[in-house]
Structure 1
Amino acid sequence: MASTNLTHSTIEHQTKAVQQEASDQEDHDFKELILSLPRENGWITPDFTFFQGFWCVSTLIQPIITFQKQFQAKDSDILVATLPKSGTTWLKALTFAITNRQRFSPLEDHHPLLKSNSHELVPFLEINFYGQTLDGIPQFDMSKMTEPRIFGTHIPFNSLAKSIKDSKCKIIYICRNPFDTFVSQWIFLNKIKPEELPEFTLEEAFERYCKGVTEYGPTWDHMLGYLKESVARPNKVLFLKYEDLKEDVNFHVKRIFEFLGVPFTQEEESGEVVENIIKLCSFEKMKDLEVNKSGTLGLNFEKKYFFRKAEIGDWVNYLSPSMVEKLSKIMEEKLSGSGLSFRSD
């Protein structure tokens, strides 16, 4: 019996040793990978890395790799994909309200969107599930999520998990005029930056933005990746522009209904369900909610910082004529032939 116990003990010890060695090797390989990648000083961190064709904070690389390896998409899943400050908070709210309208009436006093920020109801895959992990185990249990599961992501299309691309899950993507996106990012990131870091000047941030050095950027590559897929697979990816959604929200909300395969009924139309969802998710409504005036999201981002102006063309109050000319030329070059354009006047 002693011999058997010794054998079991030896096997267990050897197994742990092999696992530790594999873990050490993986850790070594990851560190080598990080050191081999191009780096720049980021907007709110000194450690900004060019990984798989886009820029991101170095601490997100491991979570993104884990997400790519482990995430198993379901055909019923819905993914809200955006660049930061492109209408993410709004699109998450609309998608949640539309998808869950049978469970929660938009007129209900206890609707989840009245009690929680939309980022809490539609969590980011790379941040909320894989970014705050221990040994690669997601902090949140996806198996307990109500279906259809709704996720958010800022990751470019080419770097999404293979299971997302191969499944029948739906992706709703929204982009925004890079002029407004840049200004909104610059203001937002200066609010949330660590106190020990100096404020990033508009001029410094603009030069990096023009070089493509921005979160999950270059901006134009991110937009074109999802645009290309929406053209190739229109039933897979719905491509929206923030400006279009603002200018005719009723029309585009109905497009989202149709795309998700949950078109509104005649009864819902006569009952003004669409209009009520639009009102529930409006910028004015969400900004005025107590839940969005105080408290923080992950990484201590104050919720109130996610609601500034939501205006089209606010960039004219910040960018000089020479800046407008420079970014206009870059966009014209990068988006040439794509059919995608934005106003710069």
Structure 2
Amino acid sequence: MSLRAEKLRSPLAVKFVSCVRGPLRDDHVRVRPPGCVMPARYMRDARRILDLEVRPEDVWIVTLPKCAMYLPYWEHVIPFWNMRQEPHVLFFSYEEMKEDLALVVRRTAAFLGKPITEEMVAQLVDHLSFDRMRDNPAVNNSSAVEHIRKEHQLEPAASTGRSFMRRGVVGEGGQRLSEGVQRRLEHWTEQRLQGRGYTGPR
């Protein structure tokens, strides 16, 4: 799988990036696939990890401190946590969306200054649900997963009953990771958050 970066051309994307504060305020590019706007440094890290072969027992390590695409996790979260009170930033967590997606929809509409009816809220809650997202090929990464599996001569994920997205249940990692791995993960989290004033979900 290959990635390419394009300069931002959309005035809206350029305006959004101009509002970014902290260590993430550097050059941004549009990455294809899938078309997301990311810091330019993403390309450097993504290329380093894209062809990394991972054993099943190593997956948790790559998913936490070493994954280049979305991590180091807390170094990604903390700058936005620190920006959460700024007038142009709306911060909420996955846990909040799972607990009360309708409330998050209403908060987002209010933040954007858009009127919204209860009928619209219900439609958005259905459209934005995890189940809808998991079944939507435009966002569920199924094409990327199948492309990578094909490159490595693996059978299609669908035929093995696997998918990029599982159930989207908060806390499911505790059922899948061993107690030893969970302890190491908790220790790593405590180290990353020490003295940083973060009080949100973990």
Measured against the shorter chain, the TM-score band is: 0.5 to 0.7
CA distance in 2 between counterparts of 1:287 and 1:253 reads: 19
TM-aligned CA deviation for residue 263 of structure 1: 3.2
Q: 2:30 aligns with which of 122, 126, 129?
A: 126
Q: Given that residues 335 and 341 in structure 1 are in contact (C-alpha distance below 8 angstroms), is that contact kept between their aligned partners in structure 2?
A: no
CA deviation profile, 1:47-99 (whole Å, cap 9, x unmatched): xxxxxxxxxxxx76x72xx53xx5464389778xxxxxxxxxxxxxxxxxxxx
Query: Match for residue 151 of structure 2?
Result: none
Q: 1:329 aligns with which of 169, 187, 200?
A: 187
Say yes or no: does 1:281 pair with 2:128. Answer: yes
The residue matched to 1:230 in structure 2 has which SS? coil
Say yes or no: does 1:253 pair with 2:112. Answer: no
Q: Given that residues 142 and 164 in structure 2 are in contact (C-alpha distance below 8 angstroms), is that contact kept between their aligned partners in structure 1?
A: no
Say yes or no: does 1:313 pair with 2:167. Answer: no
TM-aligned CA deviation for residue 205 of structure 1: 3.1
Structure 2 alignment gaps of length 5 or more = 18-28, 43-49, 149-155
CA deviation profile, 1:315-335 (whole Å, cap 9, x unmatched): 122212122112112212322
Q: Given that residues 106 and 121 in structure 2 are in contact (C-alpha distance below 8 angstroms), is that contact kept between their aligned partners in structure 1?
A: yes
CA distance in 2 between counterparts of 1:223 and 1:278 reads: 25
In the superposition, relative to structure 1, how do residues 307 and 322 fare at CA in structure 2: closer, same or farther (>3 Å)?
closer
In the superposition, relative to structure 1, how do residues 298 and 290 fare at CA in structure 2: closer, same or farther (>3 Å)?
closer
Query: Match for residue 201 of structure 2?
Result: 342
The residue matched to 1:220 in structure 2 has which SS? helix
Q: 2:73 aligns with which of 219, 235, 260?
A: 219
Letter in 1 for 2:79: G
In the superposition, relative to structure 1, how do residues 248 and 293 fare at CA in structure 2: closer, same or farther (>3 Å)?
closer
TM-aligned CA deviation for residue 342 of structure 1: 3.3
Larger Rg: 1
- 1:99-178 → structure 2 map (5 Å cutoff): 126-128=30-32, 152-155=36-39
Q: Given that residues 294 and 303 in structure 1 are in contact (C-alpha distance below 8 angstroms), is that contact kept between their aligned partners in structure 2?
A: no
Say yes or no: does 1:240 pair with 2:98. Answer: no
TM-aligned CA deviation for residue 297 of structure 1: 5.6
In the superposition, relative to structure 1, how do residues 76 and 218 fare at CA in structure 2: closer, same or farther (>3 Å)?
closer
CA distance in 2 between counterparts of 1:273 and 1:292 reads: 22
TM-aligned CA deviation for residue 200 of structure 1: 2.5
Give me the TM-score of the superposition, normalised by structure 2: 0.63
Say yes or no: does 1:201 pair with 2:56. Answer: yes
The residue matched to 1:334 in structure 2 has which SS? helix
Q: Given that residues 226 and 239 in structure 1 are in contact (C-alpha distance below 8 angstroms), is that contact kept between their aligned partners in structure 2?
A: yes
CA distance in 2 between counterparts of 1:306 and 1:329 reads: 27
CA distance in 1 between counterparts of 2:37 and 2:101 reads: 22
TM-aligned CA deviation for residue 291 of structure 1: 7.6
TM-aligned CA deviation for residue 278 of structure 1: 0.7
Query: Match for residue 263 of structure 1?
Result: 115
Point out which structure has higher relative CO (alpha carbons under 8 A, 6+ apart).
1
CA deviation profile, 1:21-56 (whole Å, cap 9, x unmatched): xxxxxxxxxxxxxxxxxxxxxxxx9xxxxxxxxxxx
CA distance in 2 between counterparts of 1:207 and 1:294 reads: 21
In the superposition, relative to structure 1, how do residues 342 and 283 fare at CA in structure 2: closer, same or farther (>3 Å)?
closer
Give me the TM-score of the superposition, normalised by structure 1: 0.40
Percent of residue pairs bearing the same amino acid type:
21
Q: Given that residues 145 and 157 in structure 2 are in contact (C-alpha distance below 8 angstroms), is that contact kept between their aligned partners in structure 1?
A: no
In the superposition, relative to structure 1, how do residues 291 and 327 fare at CA in structure 2: closer, same or farther (>3 Å)?
closer
CA distance in 2 between counterparts of 1:244 and 1:293 reads: 21
Aligned residues: 172
In the superposition, relative to structure 1, how do residues 287 and 208 fare at CA in structure 2: closer, same or farther (>3 Å)?
closer
Letter in 1 for 2:102: N
In the superposition, relative to structure 1, how do residues 282 and 75 fare at CA in structure 2: closer, same or farther (>3 Å)?
closer
